[in-house]
Amino acid sequence: MEYKIQKVKLKDVCKIEKGKIGITKAVKGEYPLVVTAEERLSHNEWHFNEPATIVPLVSSTGHGHASIKRLHYADGKYAVGNILATLIPIDHDYLNAKYLYVYLTINKEELLVSQMTGAANVTLTLTRLADVEIEIPDYATQLKVINRYEDSENFKNQMGSQIEVRSQLIENLRQQILNDAITGKLSEKWRRDNLGDVITDIGTGWKICRLFEVADFFNGKAHEPIVSENGKFILINSKFVSNSGDTKIKMVTERLTPLQSGDIAFVMSDVPGGRALARTYLVERDDKYSLNQRICGFKAKSCILPAFLNVILNRNDYFLSFDDGKKQTNLRKDQIIQFEFSLPSISEQHYIVEGIKSLFIKIDRINQINNENLTMVDLLNKVSLKELFGN
């Protein structure tokens, strides 16, 4: 079914105003404060009292890249940060503010992100925003779009919850495989086939040792805290090892602490909560990395495979026991190298490492499919909404 649609510019149907408070200057209070993040803050004053669509005016990723992560809808009394703009319909009986929010949300890449400019600080100006052209169907269709969107969002949230549960189950399975590896369960068949039926448990053939007996310890060194555009080497720091995704990779021109293939980087310090403490990174190339301070390194001796040592270090309950959760935890060298564990033969280590690799390939594929499901839900939602316009 086709609907009559009018194409108009935002400046012709909306009052467009920037938010009125610097987010850092807000005073905690009773009124919601709309910011770029999903969760709202609060302020002791309200600035708007009409339903509105709220658009960020700055890129959500920065670094010269144009992007808008989310738009917002607000009604009642609320405040808005000054790096966002409010779009308030001039005639609420003609243009529903929530319809506008839905329409701009599903078309934000084409209509809003494409209008952002700037080399380093990428922004959307009010002038460009005002000239954005939108489609307005009759009011009854606007309400249908809103209802379809809310149904889609409810379905997406339900799917998101299920996907989150599956993600945790996948991570639990990954940890169980590592636990089975270091307790000998993963290689029971290998021991039966190679050592005989009487030697099947970890108590037979595995040697108790400490970390300093199987690997040489070395410390990283302090580098200049500057990202070098001409740097040839990746600086391994706690954020790099923890794969937090919230920092630009730091490049340095000097290799103060070179790492070779097979070396393992190990995080010695962390903020409360253990977000990076005792995380590891197994180096696979010897011409690319330099080790930062408070990150130590290990060179495996001939009695242990680097990949197996990495598995041992990843089962790090011993190291996390030093984290009291109240202050930054700093592991000392003597605490680290005294770590005790059981070590199988090199042949059994090879079997365990290959077994983990094979299982993790399958788990990674499952996890990829799981994450793709949510992307597919987003796509279906967008298609479902656009069907209302015959587009």
Model-level pTM? 0.67
Residue 196's pLDDT is what? 73
* First-last CA distance in the chain: 11
Residue 246's pLDDT is what? 45
Residue 275's pLDDT is what? 65
Q: Going residue by residue through the chain (391 aa), what tens digit of pLDDT does each one get?
A: 455 789 999 999 999 999 999 988 999 999 999 999 999 999 999 999 999 999 999 988 766 688 899 999 999 999 999 999 999 999 999 999 999 999 999 899 999 999 998 877 889 999 999 999 999 999 998 998 899 888 888 887 888 788 888 888 998 999 899 999 998 999 998 988 888 756 555 556 799 999 999 999 999 998 876 666 677 888 888 878 876 444 567 888 888 998 899 999 999 987 655 567 888 999 987 778 889 988 999 999 999 999 999 999 987 678 888 877 667 788 899 999 999 999 999 999 999 999 999 999 999 998 888 878 777 777 776 776 666 655 5
Residue 266's pLDDT is what? 94
Q: How far apart are CA 234 and CA 247, in angstroms?
A: 13
CA distances from 51 to 14, 75, 100, 153, 222 (A): 11, 4, 10, 20, 52
Q: How far apart are CA 52 and CA 70, in angstroms?
A: 14
Residue 227's pLDDT is what? 62
Q: How far apart are CA 177 and CA 366, in angstroms?
A: 15
Please name every residue paired with 297 in a beta bridge, in sequence order, or none if there are none: 218, 265
Instruction: Work out the widest C-alpha separation in the chain, in whole angstroms.
Output: 85
